[in-house]
Structure 1
């Protein structure tokens, strides 16, 4: 089995404190989700589910096909400042390992204005896909209502 690990984090520190969203996926299929937002009824949410090997393989495929492991370098990306939002993505697939950090992307214009729009575009698209897939899996597990037989 190839070594595998994926972690995505987006967050900021502001007047409401440290607010963030984080996902971690392990080779066992354990998907951990953490969300802290002071502006909600339940400010701190931590959940975990186990997904099938097919889902783990799909995430590995998404990461590999994005070319982020081989064609992207975050050296020229905008660095987050102390009280600014930040994105972090760490992926390990086989022998390839990356750990990227960028200032929070609020609009595609932020990507286009950067000094590395091609690399940052790959990063942004992949993190959006990972975020949507992870939220969908968490929501399916915790909000699913059984269908009466």
Structure 2
């Protein structure tokens, strides 16, 4: 996939988690679209400031991101809901956003477009205690994989120093 193909590729991914608390609006967000990853992390704890990063990625990185999403089967996990899977019908049994915060995930891949919103999930115990543990487990593991991948990319992209010759 050439970079021109990335511009036409409809693949899109956005993840957000955050809350409004004692230190204001604190959040973590990343988004992929058309060959570019944007990352933002806002924590006002100890007067930290907003961190924004943006990077263009290779077609191989995009294919890996797609593979992670496809292998999670997040789009298939709710196929039994039919047309409603494209709305928020599939997350109705998940914990609702609350004072602890919320998470959002939106994915457009192949011919699927899904969007979820739920409360922040602290651990697998929270997942297992939910009304739709199976669906929430798919979401939970996908989010963990995506965060790990994105954080690794950011670390590699912004912390590696070029070799001086």
Q: What interval of TM-score do these two structures reach, taking the shorter chain for normalisation?
A: over 0.9
Q: Which runs of 5+ in 1 are unaligned?
A: none
Deviation sequence 1:18-49 (CA, Å, 0-9, x none): 100000001x2100000000125642011100
Correspondence 1:129-140 to 2 at 5 A: 129-140=145-156
Q: Which runs of 5+ in 2 are unaligned?
A: 1-7, 79-89
As a proportion of its length, which structure holds more helix? 2
Distance 2:41 2:144 in 1: 16
Residue aligning to 2:124 = 108
The match for 2:72 among 47, 66, 71 is: 66
Report the TM-score, using the length of structure 2 for normalisation. 0.84
Residue aligning to 2:112 = 96
Aligned residues: 147
Deviation sequence 1:64-109 (CA, Å, 0-9, x none): 111111213212101112x331111000002101010110001111
Correspondence 1:2-21 to 2 at 5 A: 2-21=9-28
SS in 1 for 2:125: helix
* Deviating more after overlay: 43-52 vs 64-73: 64-73
Q: Name which structure has the greater RCO, CA cutoff 8 Å, separation 6+.
A: 1
Distance 1:109 1:133 in 2: 23
* Deviating more after overlay: 34-43 vs 83-92: 34-43
Report the TM-score, using the length of structure 1 for normalisation. 0.92
Distance 1:109 1:129 in 2: 18
Correspondence 1:34-53 to 2 at 5 A: 34-39=40-45, 42-53=48-59
Distance 1:141 1:40 in 2: 26
